[in-house]
Every structure is written in C-alpha cells, then in structure tokens.
Amino acid sequence: MNVETSVRVEDKLFYNRYLVDVGRPHVKVRAHTSPSPQLLALLKVCPARCYELNDKGQVEVTVDGCIECGTCRVIGEPTGDIEWSYPRGGYGVLFKFG
Amino acid sequence: MIEEKFDAIVVGAGMSGNAAALTMAKRGMKVLQLERGEYAGSKNVQGAILYADMLEKLIPDFRDDAPLERHLVEQRFWLMDDRSHFGVHYRSEDFNEERPNRYTIIRAQFDKWFSSKVREAGATVLCETTVTELARDAHGKVIGVHTDRRDGEIHADVVVLAEGVNGLLGTRARLRERPKPDKVALAVKEMHFLPRETIEAHFNLKGDEGVVVEAAGTISRGMTGMGFIYANKECISIGIGCIVADFQRTGETPYGLLDRFKRHPSVAPLIEGSEVKEYSAHLIPEGGYKAIPQLYGDGWVVVGDAAQLNNAIHREGSNLAMTSGRIAAEAIVQVKSRRQPMTAANLSVYKKMLDESFVIKDLKKHKDMPMLMHTNSQNFFLTYPQLVSRAMQNYVRVDGTPKAEKEKGTLKSFVNARSWTGLFGDAFRIARAWR
C-alpha cells in the first residue's frame, strides 16, 4: 500500500552530479540518545532521504546525496538538533538544469 | 586579505543578485559578486518561468541571445481529485507575439548567460566561493564579508544579500529570522526528457510555443501545496511543493507526492516514455507580505528570496527577485552619487522605492491569503476538489436522471460537506483576502 517504499530515492540522486567534500559534512546531527520529534520528521521530509535511523534508534545523516534545499535546517536548527552550513565553495550538488 | 576595497559586494548569483550586480556595474560601480556554485546557476532551482518585462528593464535586447525555452501561449489550471481533473485553460494566439511576455527557462543555463552579462558590464564574479560570515565594525556596521578562501576577508561600502531563501549570513548575523516551517514550502522537481515533436504532440503545441499546467487538489493530500508541469523545448519540468510544516505534521514524503502526481491518469500520458535527467528540491518563501523582514541596515540590503519576496498566490518569484535586486542597486547608486555613506538611514530609500513598485503592492494585496490557505488546507485542497469532481461528473454523465434532481444532488453534496455557514464563510474569507 505504501507508495513511498516503492520510490527509490537513491536512483533519483544517481541522475545528479555531486562533488563530495570527503570528511567535511556540511550538516551534522547533535549527539542524542533518543531522537526529538523534529529529528524524526527529517526521516520522511528530507527529499534526498539523507536521514536514517541506526540500530540504536538514533537519527544519522549522510550528506553525500544532499540537494541543499535547507528543509532540515528550517525544522532542526531552531531546536539545536542539527548544525547546518553550506558546503565549501564548489562542493556539493552541481545542478545541470536546476 | 584581499587589499582591494569594493563599492559593493553581492552575495549570490541568482536572479536578484545578478540584477543587482548588473545594475551597479553598468553605473560604473566597482562590484564584486560571490557565488558558491562552480558557475552561476549551478546551485539554483526554479520551475521555471521567466517574465520578460522585468528582464527587459535590465537587458532590453535579451531575446537576441538568452537561452529561452518556449514562450507561453497557454495556461492550464487543474483542480484534481485522485481520478480526475477539472480544468480552466486559457490559450490565445495573442501570445504568439513579437516580444512574448512569459517564457519557460532552465535556470542553470539561463543564470550562466545572465552572469556573462554581469561580467560584460564590468563586475568581478568569483565562483566556488562560499561567504561564511559578514564582517562588521565595532558599531555593528557591515563592512564586508569573510569567505572560505584563504585570507578571505573582503571589504566594501555595502553588501547586497542575495543569498536565497535559505540564506545563512543574514540570519546568523541576526539581521532577520530564519524562515519558519509554516512560512516556506518544499518543492521537488524532475526534468523529463522527450523528443521535441513528442512534447509538442502531448501538449498541442507548434514551434516554440509553450504551456504551463498548475494543479491543486488531492495531489497534496490535504496539505497546502500545488503541482506544476512546464513544457520546455526538449524536456518537461514536473514538480510538486507543500508547506514544510504540513509535511512535518502529516509525515508525507515529498518524493511520494511527486510519484503519485506523475502516476495520476491526467498526468502520466504527458510524460510517458521520458528519460529523467535530474532530481532537485528547493524551498519557496510562502509567508507573503507579513513575512518580509527588515530590508536594509548599516552597510547592507537584502533582496529576492532571502527577503521572502515571493507572490505565492500568483506563483511569481523570479520577477520579484529581479526587480528587488535592480531597485536595491538603484538605491545604492543614488546614495553613492550623493557621496553619502551607506547608513541605514540613507539606504532606507531602497524600501521607499520598493514600496512604490508592484513587488510590495502585490504582496500587500494578498497579505491574508497565505494564512487562509494554510489554516483551511483540508477544505481547499481535499474537500472542495472532491466535491467539484463529483459535481462535474454528475453534470456530464447522461444517465436518465432528470436535471433538477441532479442539480439538487450536487447542491446537497456541497452543503453536507461544508454546511451553508461553511460555504458562505469560505466564499467570504476568500473574497476578503483576495480583495
């Protein structure tokens, strides 16, 4: 029944060009034992599905596929759940069409 | 540190930043424009529609060499439920004119061209440079920027913040607030490629004619939002956006919405057989007039999406961005030509000029619409579309039921769903907010 599970976001990201700044993620999740409602919302709202639950039930972010929309910043920065910066100049997603 | 001092630094090379940098450079100012993408446009996302009038004010002969896709001859509004759409279409041969009014564009390509005009006018454009912080003096006046380049502090008399909807600089420096989840929409978009003849056949077009489809209804699952389909020359931009707070509340996923929109029986045939070449996402300012922040201060002005200048009701943004960038630049040129310092008091002329333009007048006119749409999203985006679909089907399906009975049935379905008070209340609220 659930359409979302049938949408393969990683296939969509494969269309895009990226220059990954290895070892310098531009988004960080604050260490936590159990995630806040804001962090849990990011699992679904992030259009690149960068946020996932690890086996301890904590929210983790992998920014390699990030399309830099800022939605997680709007939700998670006010509560201090995440830290958000732009990637260094030239790095990150490189739109061909935009 | 770069020892050279500039008259103005423009942060960002989107519509507003390019308009500001071009205007100031043309007037002989020494302008530095900083852009974090590998080229101007590589970080920018829009549907996208270009409004000729606002670009003509900057580059009168833009049609000679700008990378334009199709000029729009048709506008389609669709009210959708899960299996149908009720459409209002307007198409006119008048739009096949010598100087068309609206075009579809592809932002990465268009912005690269726009940026070449900024360089030609004499501005220094530095890409692959992220501005990390504003430089301020002991009194808090903005005197330049810090960048992520080595020794990256650069000074200027004034900084134009054209950093987009998610601009970090202005919010970090507490010049304005971070956008709130109920004041921005998240839109996702895909670029679907097809041979141009196929696109023309799917959309009933010839030559460079183009069409726009804007759709609302059950596709947004009761959230405030809408879908769009734009015909470009050899590809179709298709996307959907909803208010971020609604996504948060419902747990819907943006790609799930887009997938469902693409598979809708009214949409699927339009993109059938296409090859997807890009998936993007972007925030759109939706707060309207009431969300506009302080627009100027000592040594700075803010323009475009960063200033929340977007008309959600008319789906216009890039023209407000271009116009606010141009007007801010004209205000700066005015202050400079009087040999006055770039203080808040002197830069307030920017706001005065913007208040007189369509930008603020239009946003003011619809100041209550964003809240109305948001607080009544279930009615406007679920209930009414379903009611209209049923009413239309009842109207067109011929099944031997007497017309009087059919009409009574339709009326009853509206009253049952919303009650007389609800129906009149909704009509009144829309009329009042639209006025």
Q: What pLDDT tens digit does each residue of chain B (435 aa) get?
A: 567 899 999 999 999 999 999 999 999 999 999 999 999 999 999 999 999 999 999 999 999 999 999 999 999 999 999 999 999 999 999 999 999 999 999 999 999 999 999 999 999 999 999 999 999 999 999 999 999 998 779 999 999 999 999 999 999 999 999 999 999 999 999 999 999 999 999 999 999 999 999 999 999 999 999 999 999 999 999 999 999 999 999 999 999 999 999 999 999 999 999 999 999 999 999 999 999 999 999 999 999 999 999 998 889 999 999 999 999 999 999 999 999 999 999 999 999 999 999 999 999 999 988 888 888 888 899 999 999 999 999 999 999 999 999 999 999 999 999 999 999 999 988 888 887
In this prediction the pTM is 0.95
How many Cβ pairs closer than 8 A exist between chain A and B? Answer: 143
Q: Do A45 and B254 touch (CB under 8 A)?
A: yes
Which residues have a Cβ under 8 Å from the Cβ of A70 and sit 6 or more positions away? A84, B165, B166, B283
Of A47, A73, A97, the CB nearest to B281: A47
Residues from chain A contacting residue B306 (CB–CB below 8 Å): none
Q: Find, among B428, B152, B415, B133, the residue nearest to B300 by Cα.
A: B133
Q: Do B168 and A86 touch (CB under 8 A)?
A: yes
What pLDDT is attached to residue A2?
47
Q: What angle do CA B216, B218, B220 make, to 5 degrees?
A: 70
Token pair recorded at residue A26:
């531009």
What pLDDT is attached to residue A1?
40
Token pair recorded at residue A27:
């988004």
Lowest mean pLDDT among A18-22, A57-61, B418-422: B418-422
What gap in Å lies between CA B431 and CA B301, rounded to an integer? 35
Helix axes B318-337, B15-26, angle to 10 degrees: 30
**What single-letter amino acid sits at B22?**
L
- Phi, psi dihedral angles at B398 (to 5 degrees): -100, 115
Q: Do A95 and B278 touch (CB under 8 A)?
A: yes
Helix, strand, or coil (residue B329): helix
B25 neighbors B118 (Cβ within 8 angstroms): yes
Helix, strand, or coil (residue B53): helix
B165 neighbors B184 (Cβ within 8 angstroms): yes
Residues from chain A contacting residue B280 (CB–CB below 8 Å): 16, 67, 93, 95, 97-98
Helix, strand, or coil (residue B134): strand
Q: Is the pLDDT of residue A5 over 60?
A: no
Three state DSSP letters for B345-390: HHHHHHHHHHHCCHHHHHHHHCCCHHHHHHHCHHHHHHHHHHHHHH
Of A74, A96, A97, the CB nearest to B179: A74
Closest-CA residue of chain B to A8:
B255
Residues from chain A contacting residue B219 (CB–CB below 8 Å): none
Q: Find, among B163, B415, B417, B195, the residue nearest to B304 by Cα.
A: B163
B66 neighbors B74 (Cβ within 8 angstroms): no
Pair type for strands B68-80 and B225-231: unpaired
Helix, strand, or coil (residue B42): coil
A20 neighbors A64 (Cβ within 8 angstroms): yes
Burial B269-279 (b: 16+ CB within 10 A, else e): ebbeebebebb
Q: Find, among B179, B292, B278, the residue nearest to B236 by Cα.
A: B278
- Phi, psi dihedral angles at B11 (to 5 degrees): -95, 110
Of B256, B276, B280, the CB nearest to A98: B280
What pLDDT is attached to residue B2?
62
A6 neighbors A70 (Cβ within 8 angstroms): no
- A26 in contact with chain B, both atoms CB, cutoff 8 A: no
What gap in Å lies between CA B70 and CA A49, rounded to an integer? 33
The DSSP call for residue A30 is P
Residue entry with tokens 């049923």: B390
What gap in Å lies between CA B407 and CA B403, rounded to an integer? 6
B255 neighbors B189 (Cβ within 8 angstroms): no
What pLDDT is attached to residue B434?
83
